[in-house]
Chain A
Amino acid sequence: MRPPRRPFLRQFAVATVAVGVAVALTLELAAQSVTLTPNQHKALYLFNFAKYTEWPKEAFASDDAPFVLGILKDPTDKDPFGKDIEIINGKTVKGRKLEIRRFLTVEDVQKSDCQLLFIASSETNKLAQILKALEKSNVLTIAEVDGFLQASGMINLLTEKKSAGTQTVAFEVNLLAAQRANLKLDAQLLKLARNVLRT
């Protein structure tokens, strides 16, 4: 069932091969550049969460308001991502420029427009208070803390050890909390979650 070779097809094949080679080369280059650290990985996860979540319109101050990714941490604690967060800084999400801001208190968060908040492990003790404060605001809350979801956190990152000694990042979701915050999590996202709490 091989089609007979004709000049047109041949040209097409040649062009296809050329394009394929070019694509392969670029991808190869990209692959070489993307040798990600666990933190960078986590940073990309944050970016992807932004992509797979829908915020109500009133979550943004204006149409050209940036998409704000906040990191809430104690000033004494070291930065959870450090410079690795820069990998996603300035990227575009939902037509808005992604902006990273650091917050020290939950009040700071409430005062400014923030759509996605990563809560560092230093805040573990104040979790209930923080989450209570943000309950009615349209903020997707993410942390890497055991029992985060039980405390009404929305997405909890998990670090899993694989057989070859490498680590992969996974996550679990509290869908109810997200719905309470008037956020819609994409089904594709839920599919990837290790665990989805719906009550």
Chain B
Amino acid sequence: MSFFRDLSIKRKMTWIIMLTTCIALSLACVAFVAYELFTFRGNLVSEMSMLAGVVGKNCMSALEFEQPDNAENNTLPGLQNDKRVTAACIYKDGRVWAKYPADAPAPNFPAEIPGVGHRFGDSLELFQPIYDRDNHKQIGTIFIRSSLDQIYTRLWQYVGIVAVVLGASLVAALLVSAGLQRVITKPVLELSSTARAVSEKKDYSVRAEKLGNDEVGALIDSFNEMLVQIQKRDIELQEARVTAEKANQAKSNFLSFMSHELRTPLTAIIGFSEMLVADVEAEGKKEWSEDLRRVHDSGRYLLELINDILDISKIEAGKMEVHVETFDVGVLVRDLKGVLRPLVERKKNQLVIECAENLGDMQADRIKVRQCLLNLLSNASKFTEAGTITLTASREARNGADWLVFRIRDTGIGMTPEQLGKLFRAFSQADDSTSRKYGGTGLGLALTKKFCQMMGGDIRVTSEPGKGSVFSIELPAICAKPASAPAVPSPSTTTFKARSGSDCILIIDDDPAVHDLLAAALGPEGYTLKFARNGAEGLRLARELRPAIITLDVIMPEMDGWVVLALLKDDPELAAIPVIMLSVRSDQDFGFAMGVADYLQKPIDRDRLVGVLKKYHRQKPASHVLVVEDDPQAREFICRMLRESQCTVAEADNGLTALESIGQQTPSLILLDLKMPVMDGFELIAELHQREDWRKIPVVVVSGKEITAEDRRRLEGHVQAILQKGAFSREELIREVLQTVRQLLGEQKSA
């Protein structure tokens, strides 16, 4: 039955029709054949009894005259005219008196007369009395046996005919049903194919064709009505989605706009307040400097807050992108020290950085890694007073892949297990009193965790109240690029690598304390420092990095400063690099004879060192830089910084004025904001690209706008570097700008 259930409706209809036809026909045929058989038998009996009557009558006189020969020879042979009769006889006085055929043996005939009548066996046997002429006394009995072969022959003929009729009827029924079943099945199949089309192609605009007003017609009507409603709902949903997308787009635009609009003035507030602090301190007005510092700190705090909120909202909108680049982990970690120094010093904390030697390179989002570490370190510093904050970085092999593990340990107030539980949730600090006492939004840790997870790693924490906390960040050394963020060669990567070029200062000294000292002294000045512990390493790095300046200690184990100097001056590619000797000994004359650029005696006077370094940087010819920035404060600020770096500066507040300025004097570098009125950065870049001579002007993008992967694609190949205002603190941004400018100008020069 399940075979039947699974048949198509078309087949089912055919089967039903065929079965019905078959059964009806069979019944009719059986009835017909049965009736025919019955009639045949009746006819046979009546014919035979008639025959028996005639023959019996004809034998009457022979019986009466006792002449069986006469009956056998004259009367009974008449039966041979009827082929059905196989045997016959006449009984007289209970015995066989005359036989047909005359020579038939006696056992052919029933020995006894069962009585008058007929019986059917293998053949029809019929007994009939013979009466005498006058007084109708029975004088004998005639027996006739008739073969049923004729009946059977007929019967078989009928069976044959019935079979033929049945077959023909079935074929006819099949043909007719093939035609007629369409009346039922066509609308059903139509409906079914429409339903399939709808479900497969998700096309709700198709309609089933209605072929009649029966139940299937009603079903098709309902189905179509359903489709209409689905389609209507789809359209409504579509509209709703478009509306929602527009709203979301508007929100994104708003956020992007806000990030730009909020950061630009804040950058100005922070920058100018810092300069004012420096100025005021120089004039010795302590009471003003306190207030100004508060302004500065509040600005910083506000900027952090805005950055965090924007980051969180970006993560929640799924718009946070991971820009994977390759960078030196050691450099990144050591750079943190300078950035954090003010914060650490304020709480009288000590920052210890322990870097394993094998840290090497990492492929990850450098800015996010840095932000994570900064978050954790500033957090540690915030909750620790007069203690030690230790950052340990190491490279570990796990499961066949390299992982970088950063451990930040502090000796601060620590946390209870309860507080640990809600630590990484956005907008929740250990408790409300914590935020009142220590400030902060509580967004930092949530962000850190998200960033780590985005880069395929995680963050863990252990803590004990009163003893301090340990935060561990574990990140894969090679961070898988997320599918959503296409691999765009990041301009900042180029910048970063090139930073190890002509602009950096190579410090060759065996004393790590000197390294720290110089890092502290020169870091804030915007120099990139590279350190070597001995002469051999120094020479290798010098060849690799081509530093702008080399400082060289004289007394070093294995290979002393003079040997290193001689080797440097022997190498035609390195000979031009100015070398500043730093030594406890006073061998200035010898030094100058050897070709050193300057000679400083330890202990080193920081200002003098800076001055000497500036002297050798100043040897570069002044460059003309065009600053295109619509915000006057930001523009003014950047211009001042550039002028201090011995550049001539031109200003423009949008793309059009920038083009005018370029027309008057072609700059050697353009610093470009992206978001501006009248003509924005993208348009300006397109314009520059139109002119053969302008196409070569290097462009550095400095923008408060969120740079998306799409933006990066648009800018790629047209700009030398992209610096995001939001990704750096003010000092960092300035340092980045200056370094990029110097490096680019330097390259131009050498080219």
Question: Which residue numbers of A lie inside 8 Å of B, CB to CB?
Answer: 1-3, 16-17, 19-20, 23-24, 27-28, 30-31, 34, 41, 44-45, 48, 51-52, 92-94, 168, 170, 186, 188-189, 191-192
Q: Which residue of A lies closest to B67 (CB)?
A: A192
Q: Which residues of B, 406-439, contact A by the 8 Å Cβ criterion?
A: none
The answer to whether A23 and B134 touch (CB under 8 A), given A48-B64, A189-B61, is no
Rounded to whole Å, the gap between the CB of B273 and the closest CB of chain A is: 126
A186 to B61, CA, bound (A): 9
Give the chain A neighbours of B67 by CB distance below 8 A.
Answer: 168, 170, 192
Q: Which residue of A lies closest to B68 (CB)?
A: A168
Give the chain A neighbours of B70 by CB distance below 8 A.
Answer: 191-192
**Cβ A52 vs Cβ B133 within 8 A:** yes
With A2-B120, A51-B132, A94-B134 known, 5 other A-B pairs at CB within 8 A are A17-B115, A24-B113, A41-B66, A48-B61, A51-B133
Rounded to whole Å, the gap between the CB of B96 and the closest CB of chain A is: 12
**Cβ A52 vs Cβ B61 within 8 A:** yes
Q: Which 10 A-B pairs have the closest CB atoms?
A: A188-B61, A16-B115, A27-B94, A31-B93, A1-B120, A27-B93, A24-B94, A20-B115, A48-B64, A192-B65
**Cβ A188 vs Cβ B58 within 8 A:** yes
Rounded to whole Å, the gap between the CB of B43 and the closest CB of chain A is: 15
Counting chain B residues whose Cβ lies within 8 A of the other chain, the interface size class is 20 to 34
Give the chain A neighbours of B66 by CB distance below 8 A.
Answer: 41, 44, 168
As a 0/1 sequence over residues 63 to 105 of chain B, the CB contacts with chain A under 8 angstroms (1 = contact) are 0111100100011000000000000000001110000000000
A20 to B135, CA, bound (A): 22
Q: Which residue of B lies closest to A171 (CB)?
A: B65
Give the chain B neighbours of A189 by CB distance below 8 A.
Answer: 61
Give the chain B neighbours of A192 by CB distance below 8 A.
Answer: 61-62, 65, 67, 70
Give the chain A neighbours of B135 by CB distance below 8 A.
Answer: 92
| B58, B65, B112, B122, most chain A CB atoms within 10 A | B65
A107 to B540, CA, bound (A): 190
Rounded to whole Å, the gap between the CB of B489 and the closest CB of chain A is: 104
Count, A-B residue pairs, CB within 8 A: 68
Interface: B596 (CB within 8 A): no
A44 to B58, CA, bound (A): 19
Q: Which of B61, B95, B122 is in CB contact (< 8 Å) with A191? A: B61
The answer to whether A45 and B65 touch (CB under 8 A), given A51-B134, A188-B60, is yes
**Cβ B148 vs Cβ A1 within 8 A:** yes
The answer to whether A23 and B94 touch (CB under 8 A), given A16-B117, A17-B114, is yes
Give the chain A neighbours of B112 by CB distance below 8 A.
Answer: 20, 24
The answer to whether A28 and B94 touch (CB under 8 A), given A52-B133, A189-B61, A191-B70, is yes
Q: Which residue of A lies closest to B152 (CB)?
A: A1
Rounded to whole Å, the gap between the CB of B278 and the closest CB of chain A is: 132
**Cβ A1 vs Cβ B115 within 8 A:** no
A45 to B148, CA, bound (A): 41
A2 to B121, CA, bound (A): 6
Q: Which of B65, B121, B122 is in CB contact (< 8 Å) with A48? A: B65
A191 to B95, CA, bound (A): 24
Rounded to whole Å, the gap between the CB of B342 and the closest CB of chain A is: 123
Give the chain B neighbours of A44 by CB distance below 8 A.
Answer: 66
A168 to B93, CA, bound (A): 18
Give the chain B neighbours of A52 by CB distance below 8 A.
Answer: 61, 133
Give the chain A neighbours of B64 by CB distance below 8 A.
Answer: 48, 51
Q: Which residue of B lies closest to A1 (CB)?
A: B120
Give the chain B neighbours of A170 by CB distance below 8 A.
Answer: 67
As a 0/1 sequence over residues 31 to 66 of chain B, the CB contacts with chain A under 8 angstroms (1 = contact) are 000000000000000000000000000101110111
Give the chain A neighbours of B133 by CB distance below 8 A.
Answer: 51-52, 186, 188
A168 to B94, CA, bound (A): 21
Rounded to whole Å, the gap between the CB of B111 and the closest CB of chain A is: 10
**Cβ B94 vs Cβ A31 within 8 A:** yes
Rounded to whole Å, the gap between the CB of A191 and the closest CB of chain B is: 7
**Cβ A19 vs Cβ B115 within 8 A:** yes
Q: Which residues of B, 103-134, contact A by the 8 Å Cβ criterion?
A: 112-115, 117, 120-122, 132-134
Give the chain B neighbours of A93 by CB distance below 8 A.
Answer: 134
Give the chain B neighbours of A3 by CB distance below 8 A.
Answer: 120
Rounded to whole Å, the gap between the CB of B393 and the closest CB of chain A is: 109
Give the chain A neighbours of B62 by CB distance below 8 A.
Answer: 188, 191-192
The answer to whether A30 and B93 touch (CB under 8 A), given A23-B113, A48-B65, A191-B74, is yes
A141 to B134, CA, bound (A): 21
A19 to B112, CA, bound (A): 12
Rounded to whole Å, the gap between the CB of A34 and the closest CB of chain B is: 8
| B75, B94, B135, most chain A CB atoms within 10 A | B94
| A1, A48, A170, most chain B CB atoms within 10 A | A1
Q: Which residue of A lies closest to B120 (CB)?
A: A1
Rounded to whole Å, the gap between the CB of A117 and the closest CB of chain B is: 20
A3 to B64, CA, bound (A): 37
| B66, B112, B121, most chain A CB atoms within 10 A | B66
Give the chain B neighbours of A17 by CB distance below 8 A.
Answer: 114-115
A11 to B523, CA, bound (A): 137
A79 to B70, CA, bound (A): 31
A16 to B135, CA, bound (A): 24
Give the chain B neighbours of A1 by CB distance below 8 A.
Answer: 120-122, 148
A27 to B129, CA, bound (A): 14
A51 to B148, CA, bound (A): 39
Give the chain A neighbours of B120 by CB distance below 8 A.
Answer: 1-3
Give the chain A neighbours of B74 by CB distance below 8 A.
Answer: 191
A196 to B121, CA, bound (A): 44
| A2, A20, A28, most chain B CB atoms within 10 A | A20
Rounded to whole Å, the gap between the CB of A104 and the closest CB of chain B is: 30
Q: Which residue of B lies closest to A17 (CB)?
A: B114
As a 0/1 sequence over residues 144 to 177 of chain B, the CB contacts with chain A under 8 angstroms (1 = contact) are 0000100000000000000000000000000000
A92 to B136, CA, bound (A): 12
Q: Which residue of B lies closest to A36 (CB)?
A: B66
A93 to B65, CA, bound (A): 15
A155 to B117, CA, bound (A): 38
Rounded to whole Å, the gap between the CB of A64 and the closest CB of chain B is: 17
Give the chain B neighbours of A45 by CB distance below 8 A.
Answer: 65
Q: Which residue of A lies closest to B95 (CB)?
A: A31
A52 to B135, CA, bound (A): 12
A164 to B389, CA, bound (A): 158
Give the chain B neighbours of A51 by CB distance below 8 A.
Answer: 64, 132-134
A192 to B133, CA, bound (A): 15
Give the chain A neighbours of B134 by CB distance below 8 A.
Answer: 51, 93-94
Q: Which residue of A lies closest to B92 (CB)?
A: A27
Rounded to whole Å, the gap between the CB of A68 and the closest CB of chain B is: 17
Give the chain B neighbours of A23 by CB distance below 8 A.
Answer: 94, 113
A52 to B66, CA, bound (A): 14
Q: Which residue of A lies closest to B123 (CB)?
A: A1
Q: Which residue of B lies closest to A32 (CB)?
A: B93
Rounded to whole Å, the gap between the CB of B59 and the closest CB of chain A is: 9
Q: Which residue of B lies closest to A3 (CB)?
A: B120
Rounded to whole Å, the gap between the CB of B39 and the closest CB of chain A is: 14
Give the chain B neighbours of A31 by CB distance below 8 A.
Answer: 93-95
Rounded to whole Å, the gap between the CB of B165 and the closest CB of chain A is: 25
Q: Which residue of A lies closest to B138 (CB)?
A: A23
A20 to B127, CA, bound (A): 12
Give the chain B neighbours of A2 by CB distance below 8 A.
Answer: 120-121
A28 to B133, CA, bound (A): 23
Would you list 28 pairs from A and B whose C-beta atoms are within 8 A, ordered by A residue? Answer: A1-B121, A3-B120, A17-B114, A19-B115, A20-B112, A20-B115, A23-B94, A23-B113, A24-B112, A27-B94, A28-B94, A30-B93, A31-B95, A41-B66, A44-B66, A45-B65, A48-B61, A48-B64, A93-B134, A168-B67, A170-B67, A186-B61, A188-B58, A189-B61, A191-B61, A191-B74, A192-B61, A192-B65
Give the chain B neighbours of A19 by CB distance below 8 A.
Answer: 115
Give the chain B neighbours of A188 by CB distance below 8 A.
Answer: 58, 60-62, 133
A54 to B315, CA, bound (A): 140
